[in-house]
Homo-oligomer: A and B are copies of this chain.
Amino acid sequence: MDDDDFRRGRPSLHKAFGEATAILAGDALLTLAFEILAAPLMTRVHRPDTLLAVISELARAAGARGLIAGQVADIMCEGKTVDARTVDHIVRNKTAALIKASLTCGARLAGGTREQIDILGRFGEDLGIAFQIRDDLLDLEGDAGRLGKAVGKDEQRGKATYPNLLGKEQARSLMQGLVGGAVKSVRVLGDKSEPLALIGEYVGKRVN
């Protein structure tokens, strides 16, 4: 979608195999997620109504009221002056919605309580926003060799990002606040949440 030639130092899919195949690979993986959730293997382990709730939640997060809404807004806002509400809408949907759903769906399948699911959902959403801000900061100040992709593209294209809206320092503070809050809140769940807390801290510091 951003037409980058490289990802993690390797040619991006559409560069290596052509656009049609890249689009079909995306469609195939999207469809596979639902095929797996409805597969007999899953129905032998999980309650049918839990699986349907997970499918519904995943589809909503990935669809036109979630990830796709954010992606469309992201494209439409290129080169335009936007306010904080618009940037929040974009980041919350294009990045955070699916990260949030990966946590709440996992929690549902593991038999989490309503409260545990909610805590994990908020953790995923805050961490998703932080992840996107870190991504946008790396595009501004990261090392192309280390990142394995081109940098400086967001500024060139006038993308609606927090660093472009607030400046780098304020965006960094916002990110650090989100990471700190997310890590603190998930630790409420006890020792088992420690891997998530560590992932949270990594998101705030990653360099590629």
Contact = CB atoms under 8 A, between A and B. Distances in A.
B27 A55 contact: no
Contacts of A21: 72, 75
Tell me the number of copies of this protein.
2
A31 B75 contact: no
A2 to B, nearest CB: 9
A68 interface: yes
Interface stretch (A35-43, A109-117, A163-171, A199-207): A35-43
A159 to B, nearest CB: 13
**What is the interface residue range for chain A against chain B?**
35 or more
Contacts of A55: 34-35, 37-38, 55
A59 B72 contact: no
Nearest to A51: B52
A26 interface: yes
A43 B60 CA distance: 16
Contact of A68 (B31, B37, B39): B31
B32 A30 contact: no
Nearest to A48: B48
Chain A binding surface, main DSSP class: helix
Contact of A64 (B28, B49, B60): B28
A91 B59 CA distance: 29
Contacts of A28: 63-64, 68
A69 to B, nearest CB: 9
Interface string A87-126: 0000000000000000000000000000000000000000
A154 to B, nearest CB: 16
A193 interface: no
Closest 8 CB pairs between A and B? A48-B48, A35-B59, A31-B63, A38-B55, A38-B56, A28-B64, A34-B34, A28-B68
Given A23-B23, A39-B56, 8 more contacts: A1-B20, A24-B68, A26-B27, A31-B64, A35-B60, A38-B56, A43-B52, A48-B51
